[in-house]
Amino acid sequence: MWKDIKEILIESKELQGRVRELGEEISRDYAGREPHLIGVLKGAVVFMADLSRYMAIPVSFDFMAVSSYGASTKTSGVVRILKDLEESIEGKDIIIVEDIIDSGLTLHYLYNNLSSRRPASLEICTLLDKPERREVEVPVKYCGFAIPDRFVVGYGLDFAQKYRNLPYIGVLKDEIFK
């Protein structure tokens, strides 16, 4: 699997340092409150687990699974909810935890969907952002890294359900996904 990586874009140590900073920032912003983290499966699981351990405030979790990629490297633009929340978010301080924002289509849909459920507040925290790919703007409050328009894997991000366990963000060799 490691032989499939062309380049390491963000090293493990740099990832952990930035995730710690995000956890500390959220802890300050939500002091005296208990945010409810909604992880977007499957990609955000690793990031959300680490992020929550760096938060010095009580938090609760839930997860949603949405899909717009399948086994492709490009979004289809059609968003499907594969797993919805297990409880109401009405009146709660919600933070959507996402692995990567690309076109913005999936997160725009998800943000609007959750907003309609009447949370007390709704923010977005993403590990990675590809601003040059944006088709729809989304209100990101917390961002780990802005990255170039490259297809990346690792730290929860996958290609065809592989590479999620890499401890860094890497770029696959072209022949792997062509």
List residues with catalytic annotation. 102
Of 177, 105, 91, the C-alpha closest to 134 is 105
What one-letter code names the amino acid at 1?
M
What token pair was written down for 46? 């690793």
Q: Is the dihedral of CA 31, 147, 102, 7 positive or negative?
A: negative
Residue ranges of alpha helices (H) inside 31-155 are 45-53, 105-115
93-101 vs 80-83, strand pairing mode: unpaired
DSSP state of 154: B
Q: What is the DSSP string of 138-154?
A: ---SEEEEE--S--EEB
Q: Give the span between the Cα atoms of 165 and 21, in whole angstroms.
A: 22
